[in-house]
Structures are given as structure tokens and as C-alpha cells.
Amino acid sequence: MTVLAAPAAAAAATAAAAATAAVAAAGQQQRLAFVLNRIVEIQQRVWQTQPQLVEGIRVQQQTPHRPQQQQQQQHHHQQEQQQQQQRQQQ
């Protein structure tokens, strides 16, 4: 390799590395664009369903369903009945 060929080879290697980096960056940009588009799609779906979700939460909050409290009341009622029966037996 001549003295002039060495810098040319180094320049060619640098250019090849730069080209490889550019291709990788382009691929990365494509992946990033895909991910960002996907995020936008999901965000749009969320915005479309958000009123339904809010309404569902509102309905749940307004619906007086308290099964645990009913169970506690039933259990308390059973205890009272048992105590009355014990008193009657004594």
C-alpha cells in the first residue's frame, strides 16, 4: 500500500462506517415511526372509549350495591336469633 493509499483506505473505511450508521439510523427511525404511530392509534382508541369508561365509573358509583354489608347484617341477625333461642332454652 502506498503512502497515498493508506489515507484513502481509511477514508473509505470511515465512509463505510458512516454509511452503516446511516442505514442503522434509518432503520431505527422506521422502528421509532412505527412505535409512535402505534402509540397515536392507542391514544385515539382511549379517547374514543374514555366517555364510556367515565360513564361506567359514574354508574358504578351511583349504584348502591353493598353485598358485604348485607352479609354482615344477615350474620348479625343470625347471631341475634341464636341468642334469643339460647335465652328461651334457659
Residue type, 63: T
Q: How far apart are CA 13 and CA 25, in angstroms?
A: 18
Domain range enclosing 19 = 5-65
- The verdict on residue 72 lying in a domain is no
Q: How far apart are CA 39 and CA 2, in angstroms?
A: 55
Residue type, 88: Q
Highest mean pLDDT among 13-27, 51-65, 76-90: 13-27
Model confidence, pTM = 0.40
CA 10, 11, 14, 20 dihedral sign is negative
**For the chain, what is the domain count?**
1
Calculate ∠ Cα 27-17-4, nearest 5°: 155
Cβ pair 1, 9 in contact under 8 A: yes
- The verdict on residue 10 lying in a domain is yes
Mean pLDDT of all residues in 18-37: 90
- The verdict on residue 53 lying in a domain is yes
- The verdict on residue 31 lying in a domain is yes
- The verdict on residue 60 lying in a domain is yes
- The verdict on residue 43 lying in a domain is yes
